[in-house]
Amino acid sequence: MARRPLPRILSNRGVHLARSRELARTAADSATDVLHPLITIVRGLRRLASAGRRRLADTPKDRRGTLLFLVASVILVVLLLPYGPLLAVVTLMAAAAWQGRDRAPAAPDGPDESQTQRLKSLYDALVPYFSSAGDPDPLYTHGGSWEKAFPAYEFDGTGRITHLVLTYPAYYTDGEAESRARIEHLLAAKSGRGREYHFAWDEEGNQLTVQVLAPLPTDIAAQRFVTSPGETVLGFTDPTQVRRTLPLTHGEEQRDVPPVVWRTGVRSTEPHLLAAGQPGSGTSTLLRSVALQALRHGDVVIVDGGGTGEYACLTGREGVLAVECGLAGVSESLRWAAHETERRLIAANRAHQAGDPPPDDTKRPLWILLDRPSAFTHLAAADGREDPQSLLQVPLRHGRPANVTVVVADQLDSLETLSDAVRQHTRARVVLGPATSEQVKAVLGAPPHTTPLDHTPSGRGYARLGAGPVHRLQVPATPNPYDDTTSADHRQAVLDLLPARSAQNHTRTEPTQPERKVPEPGPVRRTPADAEFLGKHSVEKKPVDLTATDKTATDTNAADAADAADADKAPLKPVPAKAAATESS
């Protein structure tokens, strides 16, 4: 069907508005120019009047009469003199014009001496990189002039560069990561350490823009973010790449901050997330923040490989199906989650085939959050038991249409231990804490366009959603409220977000929700048609390879096919909670 064009008034509204605004601005500028003398005189008269008032107020009360008499006498004499009033008005205007003149010192035209010196040394440092022996008209030469090479620059109050546009010769290999990194490193070192720089390479125009970035706010506490269902705030970033802002409260203060919003669910292109970082970088905090947001609309299963009780505050809360920190419990919960994913998928598929909407019990989001699953991989290998990560294959592959989301957090040096399925299907990525450019690139699939910080605050890092841009990220402070070192405000913010305790007093090892929340559709047996559907179910055969792994999706698909064949024999029934509890205890 042909698309009907928007009414002209709607489609051109933005252009009209911009043009009107431009016209208004030009008119205001012209009016200011024309009326400038008048404005100066009025300002001067105001200053003279207030000086007179001040003088009167400073005069002791008993002398005010004499002063007023003196002024009145002068006025009278002036009025009686020939041309007196005219001369008085001219004198007054001249005095007002003098008083009303702009007293702010005129901004110096061009850089001062120390700024010139800085630009000159920057230029000299760039000469070896941007010059070539065969260049007939070199832009960069020893003893050359920096004016042509740096068309725009800005300095802060301390004389350090905050913004710089530099032109470089077209033959410079700006498409190569190494060449870029060399220049970026040099510019960051010469412009002043301890700050973060953003580099924007304009390969068409042969220009590089260097911008000093303001630090991201580290004081944003966990709170109920204004988001739609299916949206999760990973943290906050710069306004340059994100247009949207979220209204936040910070004590009494209200402010708007640009968020990194991750969309999950049926239409998500990055349905699962992987977060990595050094120990203590804040990945558990990120998971806690995601869990608190997920619990607003869905159910959560938590696997805690850290074993330090980071998620104890969530145990027994409404919507928290399980908080597992033992190998047996983890395996049972993940097996249940895999079965639940298949159950949802089959139920939704049957509904599609019957021409019905998807059943309600397939719509409530289910979140599987795993903190350091590699710890269980080691345990399982030592025990000769099945790696719990293998149970994530179905939720990762089929989770999106079944409203099942997997979030994995692990340490940078344990990423090798993550299964291929985890690495291939987690297209939303986060790196937190200190990390080299290579480490960031290995996790995100692209290097950051900013320089690393000397001191990285907790919860600071980078995020990338699919093949999108790399964002700087600051995770909201969502500490473990049972941690003694937590500040009272941040603890209270987390406690306020916790769902109510569920009616039954659950213990850690009881995945209670399978019985309570997940509607039991009876023992669903997978028919040959269902098995065929699961086998064929569309997943990206070649996901974007964001990591350095070179395994292909074929392995996963083959393993899935074998899995599907095995699972075909088993009834697709949620794992009974009690059985899980017994085993894990």
Ligand X SMILES: Nc1ncnc2c1ncn2[C@@H]1O[C@H](COP(=O)(O)OP(=O)(O)OP(=O)(O)O)[C@@H](O)[C@H]1O
Write out the binding residues. 277-284
Give the shortest CB-371-to-ligand X separation in angstroms. Answer: 7
Q: How far is the CB of 134 from ligand X (least distance, A)?
A: 52
What is the nearest approach in angstroms of ligand X to the Cβ of residue 168? 38
Q: For the residues of 30-51, what is the DSSP string, one character each?
A: HHHHHTHHHHHHHHHHHHHHHH
Indicate the residue among 164 and 313 with the shorter CB distance to ligand X.
313
Residue of closest CB approach to ligand X: 459
Q: Which is nearer to ligand X, 259 or 277 (CB)?
A: 277
Least distance from ligand X to the Cβ atom of residue 490, Å: 7
Regarding beta strands 196-202 and 273-277, do their DSSP bridges make them parallel or antiparallel, or are they unpaired? unpaired
Nearer to ligand X, 301 or 477 (CB): 477
Binding residues (CB under 6 A) for ligand X: these are 277, 279-285, 306, 458-459, 475, 477, 479
State both tokens at 172.
Answer: 């410079």
Residue 277 or 514: the one with the smaller Cβ distance to ligand X is 277
**Phi and psi angles of residue 426, each rounded to the nearest 5 degrees, phi first:** -95, 95
Q: Which two tokens stand for residue 385?
A: 């038991």
* Numbered residues of the known binding site for ATP: 277-284
Helix (H, G, I), strand (E, B) or coil at 495: helix
Estimate to the nearest angstrom the gap between the alpha carbon of 293 and the chain centroid.
Answer: 16
Nearer to ligand X by Cβ, of 300 and 412: the residue is: 412
Instruction: Tell me the C-alpha distance between 397 and 288, whole Å.
Output: 24
Whether the CB-CB separation of 331 and 386 falls below 8 Å is answered with yes
Spatial distance between the Cα atoms of 505 and 508, rounded to a whole number of angstroms:
10
Minimum separation from the CB atom of position 489 to ligand X (A): 12
Beta carbons of 381 and 343 less than 8 angstroms apart: no
CB of 508 vs ligand X, minimal distance in Å: 18
Nearer to ligand X, 285 or 513 (CB): 285
The span from the CA of 342 to the CA of 395, in Å, is: 8
User: What angle is formed at CA 90 by the lines to CA 87 and CA 92, rounded to 5 degrees?
Assistant: 105
* β-sheet bridge partners, residue 409: 275, 371
Which lies closer to ligand X via its Cβ, residue 323 or residue 475? 475
Which residues touch 280 (CB under 8 Å, ≥6 apart)? 433, 458
Strand pairing of 259-263 and 231-236? antiparallel
The CB-of-202 to ligand X minimum distance in angstroms stands at 34
